[in-house]
Chains A and B, each alone.
Chain A
Amino acid sequence: MKFVDEFRAPELIAKAGEEIRRLADPNRHHRIMEVCGGHTHAIYRFGLKDLLPANVELIHGPGCPVCVLPMGRIDDGLSLAAQPNFIFAAFGDMMRVPGTHGSPLEYKARGTDVRIVYSPADALKLARNNPEKHVMFFAIGFETTAPSTALTLVRAKAEGLRNFSVFCNHVTIIPAIRAILDSPDMRLDGFVGPGHVSTVIGCRPYDWIAKDEGKPVVVSGFEPLDILQSIVMLLRQLRRGEAKVENQYKRVVPWEGNRAALRAMAEVFELRPYFEWRGLGFISQSALRIRSSFAEWDSEQRFSVPGVRVTDPKAAQCGEVLKGVLKPAQCKLFGRECTPEQPVGALMVSSEGSCAAYYNYEHRKPITIASAAAV
């Protein structure tokens, strides 16, 4: 009953659950996508699914940066790291993600200089402290982390620190949502919008989803009550036949986003014509690359990158799970060949990946707030 004790306002949770059951149209099946992997984690962690009626289905979206990175990019980054006097720096989330010849952690065990950093600023610091070596920061993430990488590059250039570069894998969330909506095997009724990405981009970039696609979007916080309230707000709109963008996470997300962060991104990055996403394939203008004014600090402009393309292991169905077409447990490898201890696909590595979340909280079924609140 650990989670229950820690939980705030269980009576409000129960109320939100009731409201959801009241608002859900019994003649319809509502399919709602939570875009962000942080939300996926929270949904499984608290067993929120158990509070929803059978006709309100949550579909897990592509908002897990580690999960959408194709294996070829990892191979490319690690092949550069094999150069002498080279340090490969990345966030801890990257360390166990499999490349063709092993994960960064396995490369480290074989002698490659691989370091975990918690901030791109610390990768820069590594470069300052190791002037005889080249430090490459393997950057991943959506708009939540891209501004920090951008400012780090601004600082590197201002300092004239030449033994530092960024291997940029930053992606943007809007084109991924568009690709999912364009996918013929996907029918969705609304979106729980990402919380922290929206602190940067604000709420306006979702306007087209409401106006052109006729689907409501509610930007949401990460507490169980936040997520349930967001579902209530979505169902209310659906019931009234409305489609607008609403902000449930006003205490953190300003409608206009963070302009300083957007300026930093615009100064350093430009859109790539196209970029490959695991599961979603090539999506045009969906990722960021470093502008030529920062070429010296761009690993891809500075070194020759093999440009590896690797197809995912045949039996693994990461792509279908990423798109929300399959549930994690419907993948043939789930829980057998592919576990958090021995991941085959990236969705089993990151805590934001739906397979890892499903495995840890659903597959092993702990006691959750939902089971208590539902009583």
Chain B
Amino acid sequence: MCLAIPGKIIELDPQNTHLAVVDVVGVRRKVDLGLLQDESPRVGDWVLIHVGFAMSKISEADAVDQMQTLTMLGEAEAAMQEVRGYGLENEEQADSAPRWKQ
């Protein structure tokens, strides 16, 4: 629950300005950007996600480090399970093989 999952903003939702599609090692899900409203998030920004909400902007290098940390902590599987779980019935099936395993 307290996992912080790094992802990259791929697309802002034109209808719902607080929603964005975020890519987490190949898995794409909608997350809420409402808690980043002071930082005007843009496509291409890297963010840390907690329970489906982007909580902070980070650098790309820190995003890579964070994924590495999750892997080291044995939490990468749980993190990806969490990301896949966002949106319940998973409208978007853009999953590809998780890259950190390669």
Residues of A near any B CB (own CB < 8 A): 3, 6-8, 36-38, 41-42, 45-46, 65-66, 91-93, 116-122, 125-126, 129, 140-142, 144-145, 147-148, 151, 154, 195-196, 199-200, 221-224, 251-252, 254, 258-261, 264, 351-352
Contacts and interface: CB of A to CB of B under 8 A. Distances in A.
Interface centre among A118, A148, A223, A259 (most CB of B within 10 A): A118
B34 interface: yes
Nearest to A126: B88
Given A122-B87, A258-B55, 14 more contacts: A6-B68, A38-B2, A45-B72, A46-B72, A65-B1, A92-B1, A117-B88, A118-B82, A119-B51, A122-B86, A151-B32, A151-B53, A154-B34, A196-B50
Contacts of B50: 144-145, 148, 196
Q: Which size bracket describes the interface of B in this complex? A: 35 or more
B85 interface: yes
Nearest to B69: A223
26 contacts: A6-B71, A38-B2, A45-B72, A65-B2, A117-B88, A118-B52, A118-B86, A120-B52, A121-B52, A121-B53, A122-B85, A122-B87, A125-B88, A141-B2, A144-B55, A145-B51, A148-B50, A151-B35, A195-B4, A196-B2, A200-B55, A222-B69, A224-B72, A251-B59, A261-B35, A261-B55
Nearest to A142: B2
B12 interface: no
Contact of A147 (B35, B69, B85): B35
B49 to A, nearest CB: 9
A260 B73 contact: no
B36 interface: yes
Given A122-B88, A125-B87, A251 B62 contact: yes
B14 interface: no
A367 to B, nearest CB: 14
Interface string B34-45: 111111000000
Given A45-B73, A117-B88, A199 B2 contact: no
Nearest to B49: A119
A29 to B, nearest CB: 29
B59 to A, nearest CB: 7
| Interface of A (DSSP majority class) | helix
B41 to A, nearest CB: 11
Contact of B34 (A38, A46, A151, A259): A151
Given A7-B72, A119-B86, A91 B4 contact: no
B55 A42 contact: no
Contacts of B34: 151, 154, 260, 264
A142 B50 CA distance: 12
A41 B73 contact: yes
B16 to A, nearest CB: 10
A259 B51 contact: no
Contact of B52 (A42, A66, A148, A251): A148
Contacts of A41: 73
Q: Which 9 A-B pairs have the closest CB atoms?
A: A119-B52, A118-B85, A148-B53, A118-B82, A261-B35, A151-B34, A119-B51, A260-B38, A93-B1
B88 A196 contact: no
A200 B2 CA distance: 13
Interface string B50-90: 11110110110010010011011111001000110111100
